[in-house]
Amino acid sequence: MMRKSEYALWALLVVAVIAASSTVVSLARSPSAEAANSEIYDQLNLFGEVLERVRQGYVEEPENKELIKSAIDGMLAALDPHSAYLTPDGHEDMRVQTKGKFGGLGIEVTMEKGLVKVVAPIADTPADKAKIRSGDLITRIDDDEVLGMTLQKAVEKMRGEVGSPITLMIIREGEDEPMKFTFNRGLIEINPVKYNAEGDDVGYIRITTFNEQTTEKLVKAVNELKTELGSNLKGYIIDLRNNPGGLLDQAIAVSDAFLDEGAIVSTRGRNKEDVQKEFARKGDITDGKDLVVLINGGSASASEIVAGALKDLKRATVIGTQSFGKGSVQTIIPLGSTKGALRLTTARYYTPEGVSIQATGITPDKVVEEELPEDVKKREELIGTRGEANLRGHLKNEGNEDGKKEKSGSSSWIPEDKTKDTQLNYALELLRGTKSVDTELKQKAEAEAANKPEAAN
């Protein structure tokens, strides 16, 4: 245990480091800066005293490392819902997700009755070639029993160096005995872009996340759809529904891919003068074909940047329901290989028209809602839909400081059967010319005007 003298030395060192940092920033400090530093020192002393009291007097001996981590977590959670401390493992997992490549098996998994269940093997991956099937239950990974593991822990164990061996014990429906599979891990790519032709005239592109592969895969999708559909190609549907976001630079690059000019997004930090703007460069990969963007309550962050840019610059028609409303930018600050990283909210972002969507979201050009099944409808009526505005401690929208106009989020449900996907089918009709948003809006305005009582003269 750390004694009082040790605590005093520790506190003194922390204060000395902060003082040195302050000196680097400004050698000539104002009285207000001196007062602020004095307050920080007082609060650090308070923290040190509370820490020592807990370490010495709590009913069970606490872990020092866990105490400090919890204090850091609490500090960051008090800022906003998106700032957080990442452990070394958490930081590495984030790096894997944003890179989009890792050594693994190539299976989508979930947990069922304490075991890892294979949702589906990914085509042409080691798991697929080893004949792992959908519905298989993994009971053992190498020498470790799965029962009692968290899903995250099981996934970590299945990932590893490309070429390294792994052994899985699997229970398969219809087989009397558990089955043993031994094979080598391979290079797995998280494919963020899926696409297909809808009929013989529309290209459908779904972007599921914004990782380092997104723009490259998008360009490939557009080129292959061009080749497949040829002169019949009327336009593209860019489906951003339930896309939670990702890398800012990829959101900018994806927006740029559909534009020839214009401001894509601007970010503003704590200092109002610290504004960065990103502009499109000439080179629309679709050659100016019509675009329809689909969004819903699960479209957040980077996907809102793309939808906002294409909407404000009149490059696409946005269809669907109100987006999530995450209008802030997080910076990952590494703290060293053994210390993890800090994910800190450092800026708000604004659409080309200078609008912040923080806690408000993107409003579609045309609101089109899905026909919800009764169970989904009842659940949403009971618990409501969630967006940024519902998150505790979220940043306020600077344009709506009173919070009264905050609104974000909507249903994120999408039917598996495309024939029942109201939003997708509306987009198809729009591109094929059987529907017109302008005509519908005009008819709606005329109907509203006709129903208004005439003013008395």
205: helix, coil or strand? Answer: strand
| Contact between 295 and 239 (Cβ < 8 Å) | no
CB 407 within 8 A of CB 399: no
- If phi > 0 it is left, if psi is from -120 to 50 it is alpha, else beta; for residue 340 that is left
How far CA 9 is from CA of 3, 45, 48, 67, in Å, comes to: 10, 11, 11, 19
Contact residues for 334 (Cβ-Cβ < 8 A; gap 6+):
91, 341
Pairing of strands 275-279, 165-171: unpaired
Could you give the 3-state DSSP secondary structure of residue 361?
coil
Measure the CA–CA gap between 137 and 134, rounded to whole angstroms.
Answer: 9
What long-range pairs does 248-252 form, CB within 8 A, spacing at least 24?
Answer: 248/302, 248/305, 248/329, 248/349, 250/210, 250/211, 250/212, 250/214, 250/215, 250/302, 251/210, 251/301, 251/302, 251/303, 251/305, 251/306, 252/278, 252/305
User: Hey, what are 61's tokens?
Assistant: 């001996």
Tokens representing 33 are 């800066």
Cβ neighbours for 389, distance < 8 A, ≥ 6 positions apart: 325, 359, 360, 406, 407, 408, 409
Q: What are phi and psi of 291, to 5 degrees?
A: -125, 140
128 with 121: CB under 8 angstroms? yes
**Alpha carbons 253 and 217: distance in angstroms, whole number:** 12
Catalytically active residues are 301, 312, 326
248 close to 329: Cβ distance less than 8 angstroms: yes
CB atoms closer than 10 angstroms to residue 287: 8
User: Which residue blocks in 180-247 are alpha helix, DSSP H?
Assistant: 214-229
DSSP state of 258: T
